[in-house]
Structure 1
Amino acid sequence: MHNLPAIEGNPMTKHVGSCLCGIVKFEVHGDFDSFYLCHCKYCQKDTGSAHAANLFSQSAKLTWLAGVDAVTSFTLPGTRHNKSFCRSCGSALPNALLTGLLVVPAGCLDTEVSVSPTAHIFTSSRAIWEGAIGNAAEFGGLPE
């Protein structure tokens, strides 16, 4: 096991997660303080979607269980925008920032998140097509 910098958290709350290809596995011990849906242009670019869905904690501890060598990070020069991901499959992964803030992409968790989104942020940058999402047809699987 390899620990990247993180602050000690509540050992009672545990979440597990992984990347798409399964090489990277991790645990988060502690509670999340907030759950933001970020609509900034940077998050749109690095998710390929309308927004990123990230959980934040100032007290939880991140423990890498497998594949830590496959974890890499990118910081957009001149910004605070940072993303950690699996170098094999590209899946977004947690990032323990040097400020002590742990950022966990909600979609990489294998356990359910009981926290509801706290807020939408950077809504002034929303994708133009996002407003039409509610009018789109819904399918339980791939449409035929």
Structure 2
Amino acid sequence: MADYLGSCLCGAVTFEMTGAFESFYLCHCQHCQKDTGSAHAANLFSTSASLSWLSGADAVVSFTLAGTQHHKSFCSLCGSALPNTQIAGLLVVPAGCLDTEITMLPTAHIFCSSKAEWDDALEAVPAFARLPG
């Protein structure tokens, strides 16, 4: 039985993962900022879990930034980030692609020396349940 289920935004790619995550990092490096278009990436890591594509495996594309260990897998139809296995023995799962609830809290913020200038004191920014009118 799968421990986690996930999918891309358009639903073409679905997957299941069996096993546990050892860590959950919020990465603020400049590669992850470009990769996500946001302040940081939120990725879960496992050295023992197994990944099975349930549908859309042919739509999964992988990219490695030359000269780095920065890897990304994504849906070729909608661009959603998906799990990747480009580093031997390591499964990296973007937290946002999981459909199953994640009960583990992030382990740490990493590469904070590259943190975006605007990604500070966000608790003071107004919060809305939906897009404000």
Provide the TM-score with structure 1 as the length reference: 0.90
- Report deviation, 1:107: 0.3
Match of 1:129, SS? coil
Amino acid at match of 2:61: T
Which residue is 1:48 aligned to? 37
Which residue is 1:83 aligned to? 72
**Residue 20 of structure 2 corresponds to residue 20 of structure 1:** no
Give aligned pairs, total. Answer: 133
Which of the numbers 21, 45, 66 marks the counterpart of 1:32? 21
Equivalent residues in 2 for 1:62-77, closer than 5 Å: 62-77=51-66
Provide the TM-score with structure 2 as the length reference: 0.97
Which of the numbers 84, 101, 114 marks the counterpart of 1:125? 114
Kindly, what percent of the aligned residue pairs are identical? 65
1:52-100 deviations in whole A, cap 9, x for unaligned? 0000000000000000000001100110000000000000000013421
Gaps of 5+ in 1: 1-10
- Report deviation, 1:114: 1.1
Which residue is 1:8 aligned to? none
Does 86-95 or 131-140 show the bigger shift?
131-140
Match of 1:42, SS? helix
Gaps of 5+ in 2: none
- Report deviation, 1:132: 4.0
Q: Distance in 2 between matches of 1:41 and 1:134?
A: 23
Which residue is 2:83 aligned to? 94
